[in-house]
Amino acid sequence: MSARIVCLGEAMVELSPRQGRWDVHYGGDTLNVALHLTRLGFDVAYLTALGSDPFAGHMRQAWGREGMDVSLVLTDPERTTGLYSIATDEHGERQFSYWRGESAARRLFTASGIERALEAAAEADLLFFSLISLAILPGEAREAVLALARKVRSRGGMVAFDSNYRPRLWESVEAARTWRDRAIAVVSIGLPSLDDERNLAAGTETVAMVRDHWLTEGCEEVIAKMGAAGAVLPDGSAAEPEAQLLALDTSGAGDAFDAGYLAARLRGLSPDRAAAHGQRLAGWTVMRHGAIPERDHASPYAAMVVEAAEKEART
């Protein structure tokens, strides 16, 4: 039976310029992970709050068509859904503008139905959240996220965490660092990136320093991402990508890696094969526009599922 996964965070409307007009999509780090995991055949629910605006209904419908469970998507009728615009340069690097100050997700833990949603989320086989998930919430709600993570772990589930650091969402770098470390202490799989860790704290200039810090703080398995240079596996060895790509759009690359890695690990693949899955999915993503591209003939989801199934059949 497929593992039950709950991803927690903020989903936003994504506006991207295309030939003199704006294309409307949706994105958000934990949402991207949730949708990739759904496409990889898992039972995935997304825990968030949307506004009562027209965008919200379209987002729910689109996620439902993907096969994602939207029963934990709550509504705050007094707020709107967050929005961002994205532009990319000739190297595929991103530039964002955000309108999220009144985002419904910021009041997730006061939304109607949150008690029921948290009870359901606590039964997950895997809970996934990020530093952005914490950044948008007030202190009491951040505590509630960590409490949920501890409950999932106490029931035998796994908790994964990505330290996506966005300075403008935090009152100070010290606050972000504190909450990152508190999150590390309650998770089983850590997915830091070297760039974010360098921006968060001195003493993390190398990937070995990042791994050491996360392990010291209590994380059991650390896979450190280095962008186009690849990743460092839990045993300290390097996992280099198969090819260097001239990216069209790097938005969502780290999220795709997270999803590919977590899916493979849930299905029993080794960390090195899981990293290869993460890199393959990230490579497909950066060669297309948008944080969560539409599936096409080259999408690697089916092949990744087949490899995991063949491994399971051999064991």
Which residues are catalytically annotated?
Answer: 255
| 74 φ/ψ angles, rounded to the nearest 5 degrees | -95, 170
For 259, the enclosing helix (H) or strand (E) is: helix 253-266
Burial pattern 28-46, b for ≥16 Cβ within 10 A else e, equals bbbbbbbbbbbbbbbbbbb
Tokens standing for residue 233? 């596996």
Task: Give the span between the Cα atoms of 75 and 72, in whole angstroms.
Answer: 10
For 210, the enclosing helix (H) or strand (E) is: helix 207-217
Residue 226 near residue 207 (C-beta atoms within 8 A): yes
Q: Count other Cβ atoms within 10 Å, centred on residue 303.
A: 11
Task: Give the span between the Cα atoms of 264 and 267, in whole angstroms.
Answer: 5
| 105 φ/ψ angles, rounded to the nearest 5 degrees | -60, -25
Residue 231 near residue 272 (C-beta atoms within 8 A): no
DSSP 246: -
Order of strands, edge to edge, in the sheet holding 238-239?
224-225, 231-232, 238-239
Residue 134 near residue 183 (C-beta atoms within 8 A): yes
Q: Assign 82 to helix, strand or coil.
A: strand
Q: Give the distance from CA 66 to its chain's centroid.
A: 17
